[in-house]
Chain A
Amino acid sequence: MTARILLHDKILPIGVVVLAIIAIWYAAAVFLNAPFERDQAERAETEISFSEILPRTMAQERPVLPAPHQVFAELWNTTVEKKITSKRSLVYHSWITLSSTLLGFAMGTVLGVALAVGIVHYQTLDRSLMPWIITSQTIPILAIAPMIIVVLNAVGISGLLPKATISMYLSFFPIAVGMTKGLRSPEVMHLDLMRTYSASRAQTFWKLRLPAAVPFLVTSMKVAISIALVGAIVGELPTGAVAGLGARLLAGSYYGQTVQIWSALLMAAALAGILVMTVDIIGAWVNRRMGVRPA
């Protein structure tokens, strides 16, 4: 019964989309990689038929667009076949990126919540901070990331922290905005109720504002964790980092290793999916604990 529902609601629709994507991907690979094969044939002054081109477009060393099975072979090679500690293991690189994502996400969450608490309780903070918070996000991260890394390096901070700082810079924003909204979400009647109990500001915060803000926090954490990952990857680019998914992307583009680029991209996408899903599951668990009516 549940297995059938799972098949119907989840596996079937997702499977269809995945199959469609793979089909389009193959078609695109053939289309994009064929000119190279024709060039080669022309240079060698030989005739080449389409049936000869077809298999070759899927086996180039540096294709414009690698075929899916090439990418999956590379993924398999660099994850399952390699030792995790190896510099060529994608798991190793993912872990490097993941650790700065998680650190940056944690710092961003703490910063975002702290800002929201300040903003909700002090009107001057609301007026003075909010414009800066919004401005901070209008500066392209690609412009600011190298500066953060250089400045932190200059004061002797290197390694994980500069990258995590960029993740924090990106992820605190949705948390601050969502949390501010959440902390302001209690109805006037509930605030009046706390007033009739002559509850202190701290009590009103812990017993009313904070629990009311939890659903808002969960939603903004889902956004924040995926952009924290983007931040960590972007943070690996300007440093010429030797490890991490960003470093793999960069190295791949230096040497025209498109297969490596695509497998790093897929890995990053999978990582993002897993992170968002984890937040989702934790959020659902918290909601259940808080008695949210099942939909």
Chain B
Amino acid sequence: MSNTVISAQNLDLTFETNDGPVHALKDITLDIAEGEFVSLIGPSGCGKTTLLRVIADLEKPTGGNVSINGMTPEQARLARAYGYVFQQAALLPWRTIEDNVALPLEVMGLDQATRAARIESNLELVNLSGFEKKFPWQLSGGMQQRASIARALAVEPDMLLMDEPFGALDEIVRDHLNEQLLKLWAKTRKTVVFVTHSIPEAVFLSTKIVVMSPRPGRIHDIIDCDLGNDRPLDIRETPEFLKVAHQVRDGLREGHSYDD
């Protein structure tokens, strides 16, 4: 079997806020194997972003343990083990698209030639060749998000952490980017942790779907999902697909009913 890349044990995270503590994560235990595509799905406020940020060492858990390839999240971050894609494109407005992709490469201290090669190949990968010299505001929202994915990929990390990268995009663009992302994953077999609100998106992309429920944020169910390597968009009408989607929906509904 493939080895475990991300392993979380009994994670707990409580934010101390002005109106008292907020229990964002409770007793999260999750293993993610190398090359898996794992989606985190759940209602707003259930701690998806927080969990991703803990893995990325942008947030420190108040209890429990995370290890990434046997390292602490901080060591993994310092080793640049992952690329992080935010919900917004988060491009620097004063840099052109190619310079935005170059940003992490400059931080890493790569030489000019390596940078140029990686910029070219990664922009091509997300279909943005020809837009190198444009500034972010000259691109549509979907193109900006693709540029931010190219930027994360240019680091050549073993792992991609994506927080609702397509959340703000329309259905058509979203479908298109889903297909591209799937192709990319099939080609590179990077480990992906992907936050989403959309059931079809999760089922279409994932090998494993983590259904979370809110207050406190915890894992309600983990659903395996293997639709094979070749997944055209219209797989979404097949019975297998609908069966998994149904399972996820049931899980979400059950998770919610704990509340009321």
Contact = CB atoms under 8 A, between A and B. Distances in A.
A189 B80 contact: no
Given A196-B58, A196-B82, A190 B77 contact: no
A19 B95 CA distance: 45
Nearest to B105: A197
A198 B82 CA distance: 11
B6 to A, nearest CB: 15
Contact of A293 (B80, B95, B137, B155): B137
Interface stretch (A32-40, A203-211, A216-224): A203-211
Contacts of A189: 86, 88, 90
Interface residues of B, number: 26
B150 to A, nearest CB: 14
A23 interface: no
A188 B46 CA distance: 21
Chain A interface extent, by class: 20 to 34
Contacts of B57: 195
B135 A197 contact: no
B172 interface: no
Give the interface SS of chain A, mostly helix, strand, loop or mixed.
helix
Given A196-B77, A198-B78, A198-B80, A211 B94 contact: yes
Given A189-B86, A190-B90, 13 more contacts: A189-B88, A189-B90, A193-B86, A195-B58, A195-B77, A196-B82, A198-B77, A198-B78, A207-B107, A290-B94, A291-B94, A291-B95, A293-B135
Interface of B: 56-58, 77-80, 82-84, 86, 88, 90, 92-96, 103-104, 106-108, 135, 137, 155
30 contacts: A187-B90, A189-B88, A192-B84, A192-B86, A193-B84, A193-B86, A195-B57, A196-B56, A196-B77, A196-B82, A196-B84, A197-B80, A197-B108, A197-B155, A198-B77, A198-B79, A199-B107, A207-B103, A207-B106, A207-B107, A211-B92, A290-B94, A291-B93, A291-B94, A291-B95, A291-B96, A291-B137, A292-B93, A292-B94, A293-B135
Interface of A: 187, 189-190, 192-199, 203, 207-208, 211-212, 214, 290-293
